[in-house]
Amino acid sequence: MSETAIDIAIIGGGLVGASLAVALGPLIERHQLRVAVIEASELSASGAQPSFDERSSAIAYGSRAHFETMELWSQLATRAAPIHDIEVSQRGAMGRTHLSRRDAGTPSLGYVLPNAFLGRVLHERLADMAIDWHCPARVDRMTPEPDGHRLVLDSGQTLHAGLTVLADGGRSGLKASLGIATDRHDYEQHALIANVETAHAHEGWAFERFTDEGAMALLPLTQRRMALIWTRPPESIDATLAMSDDDFLLALQSRMGSRLGRFQRVGSRHVYALSMSRAREQSRPHLAVLGNAAHAIHPIAGQGFNLALRGVMDLNAAIEAALDAGRTPGEAATMADFEQRRQRDRDLIMQASDTLVRLFGLELPGISGVRGAALGLFNLATPLKRALIRRAMGLARH
Ligand SMILES: Cc1cc2nc3c(=O)[nH]c(=O)nc-3n(C[C@H](O)[C@H](O)[C@H](O)COP(=O)(O)OP(=O)(O)OC[C@H]3O[C@@H](n4cnc5c(N)ncnc54)[C@H](O)[C@@H]3O)c2cc1C
């Protein structure tokens, strides 16, 4: 079979790969770029596609601006639930902090969007774009060549790409086959996710609560529904999954209190093992690594996809700068520019989310008092609070 020459090949059409393809839209038109997206899973309304499962994602206010740039926000806004306030607390101890949109000076702190809806909107846009869409198709092999990579698909088709973007979620083995190692820290925790219905309206409040068994978050969805992320030690996750709905709701109530009234209903429950991982190389000449393939973090602060989306926008900006200067997307200078744009934000967010998980996971005598005092002080320290909120919202990166 003959080889097809491609300017940019994106391996993985999940949330991150699809976002990059959409963001590249204006450059594809302006520079007649040939872009291919290769996605292994067949897309279906059932949500079988890995990125577009039952989860909802907290979308930072700064990410809204990125979706506006992609001209997707007006569609996404129809299902986006705004977050107006966040309460962070620890179970059984004093000290809590309240983050508000007033502290940030924005109409909301962020939004919550169902992943399946976000995926559908992205893929509907891709269907209208002039890209080569290979789906279902898996990249089985990737071989470096002097001016790019040779990609062999499971259909036997071969592509030659000047720039290859690995957005495969990090599980395909392609990264390792290129000799890129990944550092991984297993948190020895699982996240159980489910949607719950509350008796009282949430009024845009999100709750993060640290308990002796792990962190919990409730994020507002449309109507009286909230998205629950409940992190638990591996040894108790099976029992939590096996609980009847009534017992599950009672257990949740005892941990989250009665602020939202009675928890009334719970949807299907799903479990994810949690780890932090980071590829030792995030780019090379002719290669960029994005999304979970580049870095995965604990979901408690809802930063993983937001961080990845900033990577998407930085890669798009580096490619645009290269094309405007008469360079090609994959050459070494373009990739060095991408890495320079990315490094600080990535290091800060990864470090901050890990510190948060470790600080609230520590069980030392008196530590809950220290955490309570820290939360209380943070609540009073308005400039610090504002600075931290704006960074978490993706509004203060550089
Ligand atoms: C419980 C939980 C809650 C989370 N909540 C939030 C949140 O609130 N806010 C937030 O910002 N982030 C959140 N995250 C993080 C977020 O979900 C991830 O950052 C995001 O899903 C990463 O998407 P991705 O496209 O990189 O990877 P994936 O979703 O894994 O997609 C990779 C795609 O590549 C395809 N693929 C794989 N191998 C190949 C191959 N060889 N050839 C072709 N295609 C291939 C797969 O089929 C898949 O579609 C959460 C994560 C978890 C676990």
Q: What pLDDT digit, counting tens, does each position of 257-316 carry? A: 888 999 999 999 999 999 999 999 999 999 999 999 999 998 877 889 999 999 999 999
Query: Residue 19's closest CA among 338, 324, 396, 310?
Result: 310
Query: Residue 132's closest CA among 102, 159, 94?
Result: 159
Give bridge partners of residue 96 from the DSSP assignment.
89
Greater confidence, 1 or 308?
308
Mean pLDDT of 310-324: 98
Q: Please state the separation of Cα 101 from the chain's center in Å.
A: 21
Give the burial class of 184: count Cβ atoms within 10 A of its Cβ; 0-12 exposed, 13-18 middle, 19 or more buried. Answer: exposed
**Atom number in ligand 1 closest to CA 291:** 26
Q: Is the pLDDT of residue 47 over 50?
A: no
Mean pLDDT of 344-350: 93
Testing ligand 1's pocket by substitution, the residue of 54, 178, 305 carrying the most ligand atoms inside 8 A of its CB is 305
Q: Are 307 and 349 in contact (CB under 8 A)?
A: yes
Domains of the chain plus CATH, in order, are 3-184+274-392 (3.50.50.60), 189-273 (3.30.9.10)
Confidence of residue 385 (pLDDT cuts 50, 70, 90): low
What percent of the chain clears pLDDT 70, i.e. is strictly above it? 86
pLDDT attached to residue 237: 93
Give the Å distance between the CA of 343 and the centre of ligand 1. 20
Q: Is the pLDDT of residue 87 over 80?
A: yes
pLDDT attached to residue 115: 94
Q: Which of 93-107, 198-212, 250-264 comes out lowest in average pLDDT? A: 93-107
Q: Are 52 and 118 in contact (CB under 8 A)?
A: yes
Confidence of residue 360 (pLDDT cuts 50, 70, 90): low
Within 6 A (CB) of ligand 1 lie 11-17, 38-41, 49-51, 55, 57-58, 138-139, 167-169, 172, 174, 191, 193, 229, 272, 291-292, 299, 302-306, 308
Rounded Cα distance, 337 and 321, in Å: 9
Give the Å distance between the CA of 108 and the centre of ligand 1. 25
Q: Which of 7-21, 35-49, 186-200, 312-326 comes out lowest in average pLDDT? A: 35-49
Phi, psi of 116 (to 5 degrees): -65, -35
**Atom number in ligand 1 closest to CA 15:** 25
Output the average pLDDT for the chain. 89
pLDDT attached to residue 371: 60
Give the burial class of 221: count Cβ atoms within 10 A of its Cβ; 0-12 exposed, 13-18 middle, 19 or more buried. Answer: buried
Give the Å distance between the CA of 306 and the centre of ligand 1. 12
Residue nearest atom 30 in ligand 1 by C-alpha distance: 169
**Atom number in ligand 1 closest to CA 49:** 49
> Would strands 3-11 and 35-38 be described as parallel, antiparallel, or unpaired?
parallel
Give the Å distance between the CA of 168 and the centre of ligand 1. 8
Buried/exposed code over 250-273 (b: 16+ C-beta within 10 A; e: otherwise): eebeeebeeebeebeebeebebee
pLDDT in tens, 120-176: 999 999 999 999 999 999 999 999 999 999 999 999 999 999 999 999 999 999 999
Greater confidence, 356 or 199?
199
Quick one: angle between helices 304-324 and 332-361, nearest 10?
170
**Amino acid identity for residue 144 in this structure:** P
Greater confidence, 371 or 178?
178
